[in-house]
Structure 1
Amino acid sequence: TPPLRLATREDVYGRSLVLRLSDLLAGDTLGHVGPLDRLRAYDRTHDAALVQTLRCWLDNFGDISAASEHLHVHKNTLRYRLKRITEVTEVDLADAEMRFELMLEFRLGS
C-alpha cells in the first residue's frame, strides 16, 4: 500500500476555486435562465443529447474528431449538433469567453 499523502494547495487549487464560487452562488436567487438551462429544456422536450454533446466538445477543446469518437457519432452529426446548440442557446461557440463561461457553468453544476 502506498503511503498516505496530504494534498498540497497546488493539488487542489482549481477545485477549491470552483467550490468557493459555488458557495458564493448558492444564495443567488435571481432566477437567471442561462444557455445550459435552455439546452437542458430542449433536450427534455426533444429527447436530444445536446448538453452531453456540448460538454464533450468543450472537454475535448473543440476537437471534432476526438469529441465525435468519444460520443460514437459521425463528425458531421457532431457538427450538426453544434449548429443546433448554437441555435438553441444563441451562443457563439467561436467566442473563447463564452466557451469559458459554459465550462464554468458545467463545473459549478448549474
Structure 2
Amino acid sequence: VPRLSDAAASRGDADRVLAAMARGRWAADVASLADVRAEVLLSEVLAYLGGQPRIRDPRLTALTEHDAEHGGILVPAVLAWLDAFGDVRAAARVLNIHPNTVRYRVRRATEVSGVDFDDPAQRILTQLQLRL
C-alpha cells in the first residue's frame, strides 16, 4: 500500500482472499483480491444472508429439511444443475451420476419445494439459500 494508513484495509483484503482460497476451488498458493473477487463477494453475501432469517424462502427451508431426512441427494443435485446453468450432463459429471438421475432429482426437488426453476428470480434465490 502507498501509505501506512492503508495497511489495515490491505490486511483486511488479504484476510478476505485467504478465507476465499481456503473455502473455494483455488489451487494456487498465491492470489490477489482481483483473482478471487467473486468468491470473496459471494461469501460475504452469504454471511449477510445467514444473519437475516427473515429473507429466506420457506419452500427452500422445507426442501433442505426434507433432503436431510431422506439421504441428502436433492440439494446437491439442484446446486450442481444450477451451477451448470441447467446443463444436465455437466451436473451429472460433477456429481458422478447419470444425467437421468440429475433430471429426476431436480424434478423431485421441484415437487417437494414448489419452486419454479423456470423463473430466474426463484433460481437465483434457490442458489443463494441452498449455499447457506
Is the TM-score greater than 0.5? yes
**2:75 maps to what in 1?**
51
Contact kept, 8 Å, 1:36 with 1:51, in 2: the verdict is no
Structure 1 residue 84 corresponds to structure 2 residue 108 = yes
The one-letter code sitting in structure 1 at the alignment partner of 2:126 is L
Secondary structure of the 2:54 match is coil
The alignment's TM-score, normalised by the length of structure 2, stands at 0.61
Secondary structure of the 2:126 match is helix
**2:60 maps to what in 1?**
36
Q: Which whole-Å CA distance do the structure 2 matches of 1:48 and 1:6 have between them?
A: 33
Task: Give the C-alpha shift of residue 22 in structure 1.
Answer: 3.9
Aligned length: 104
Cα pair distance change 1:47/1:61, threshold 3 Å: same
For each residue in 1:40-91, what CA deviation from the matched residue of structure 2 results, as whole angstroms up to 9, or x when unmatched?
2111222240011011111111101111222222222221111101011111
Bigger relative CO (Cα 8 Å, ≥ 6 apart): 1
Structure 1 residue 68 corresponds to structure 2 residue 68 = no
Query: What RMSD, in angstroms, separates the aligned Cα atoms of the two structures?
Result: 2.7
Q: Which whole-Å CA distance do the structure 1 matches of 2:113 and 2:46 have between them?
A: 23
Cα pair distance change 1:26/1:66, threshold 3 Å: closer
**1:7 maps to what in 2?**
32
Secondary structure of the 1:66 match is helix
Contact kept, 8 Å, 1:60 with 1:67, in 2: the verdict is yes
Point out the structure with max Rg over C-alpha: 2
The alignment's TM-score, normalised by the length of structure 1, stands at 0.70
Task: Give the C-alpha shift of residue 16 in structure 1.
Answer: 4.2
Which ranges of structure 1 fall in alignment gaps of 5 or more residues? none
Which ranges of structure 2 fall in alignment gaps of 5 or more residues? 1-28
Q: Which whole-Å CA distance do the structure 2 matches of 1:88 and 1:46 have between them?
A: 12
Q: Which whole-Å CA distance do the structure 1 matches of 2:58 and 2:43 have between them?
A: 20
**2:20 maps to what in 1?**
none
Percent of matched pairs sharing the same residue: 34
